[in-house]
Amino acid sequence: MGEGFDTRVIALVMALRNAGIRDSKVLAAIERTPRDLFVPESFADQAFENRPLPIDCGQTISQPYIVALMTQALEVTDRCKVLEVGTGSGYQAAVLARLARRVYTIERYRTLAKEAEARFSALKLSNIVTRIGDGTKGWPEQAPFDRIIITAAAPERPDAILSQLREGGICVAPVHNGPVQTLLRYRNEAGVIHEEALCDVRFVPLVEGAARSM
């Protein structure tokens, strides 16, 4: 992103608006987040296209539309303490950091977590805390969270993570529903978890277990 307006990001924001993303704060957060810094150099020319792209460790940076949709569904305010499971490139966390008070993001691959952290410092996003570990257990030391976003597909209702959602809180997550994955929005209403299906999606799997040395 050089100085001034990057027409590619403006075109992306227009495409997201046309696709039905109406939250102007979400669109502004996307406009201010240079996605080209979050993809491998060889894909930088495609960074502002509305499609997922491969990143290191065999993982994927989500399609911008899905990032926008999940962020909008999360109803984030500047008072929110947010947990993200699945840092990946760090792009989703960077978008959330423009809207939230603080973002805690956890990734099982050291390589990805370190690369994401470097991007956060380059962009001076000082309200993101990154951790290497198994996000299926959430982040107990920092719980409860006002908002939780899971960016890898859970095999079933992610109860351990949902137990770290504050009353009145919202969690958005792709969850397997037979062969398809459905994006679900959970709300903790007075201690009871309610769920709502948003749409079908395709994410890399949420993998249980210790972080690999990679």
Per CB under 6 A, residues contacting ligand SAH are 59-62, 85-86, 88-89, 91-92, 106-109, 112, 134-136, 151-152, 204, 206-208
Distance of CA 20 to the CA centre of its chain: 19
Neighbouring C-beta atoms of residue 199, cutoff 10 Å: 12
Q: Of 92 and 188, which CB lies nearer to ligand SAH in the complex structure?
A: 92
State the Cα–Cα distance between residues 36 and 133, nearest whole angstrom.
26
Residue 182 sits at φ, ψ, to 5 deg, of -115, 135
* Closer CB to ligand SAH, 97 or 112, in the complex: 112
Q: How far apart are the C-alpha atoms of 113 and 98, rounded to whole Å?
A: 19
Q: Which is nearer to ligand SAH, 72 or 89 (CB)?
A: 89
Sheet holding 180-189, edge to edge: 128-132, 102-107, 81-85, 145-150, 165-177, 180-189, 192-201
Closest CB 177 distance from ligand SAH, rounded Å? 18
Q: How far is the CB of 192 from ligand SAH (least distance, A)?
A: 26
For residue 205, list its beta bridge partners. Answer: 153
62: annotated active-site residue = yes
Cis amide linkage into residue 155, ω under 30° from 0:
no
CB half-sphere exposure, 168, CA atoms < 13 A: 4
Nearer CB in complex with ligand SAH: 109/145: 109
Which residues lie closer than 8 Å to 178 by C-beta, 6 or more apart? none
Smallest distance, ligand SAH to C-beta of residue 3, A: 25
Pick the closer one to ligand SAH by CB: 81 or 167: 81
Q: How many CB atoms are located within 10 Å of the residue 180 CB?
A: 11
- Candidate list 24, 62, 121, 213, residue with the active-site label: 62
Q: How far is the CB of 50 from ligand SAH (least distance, A)?
A: 14
Q: What is the nearest approach in angstroms of ligand SAH to the Cβ of residue 4?
A: 26
Q: Which residues are catalytic?
A: 62
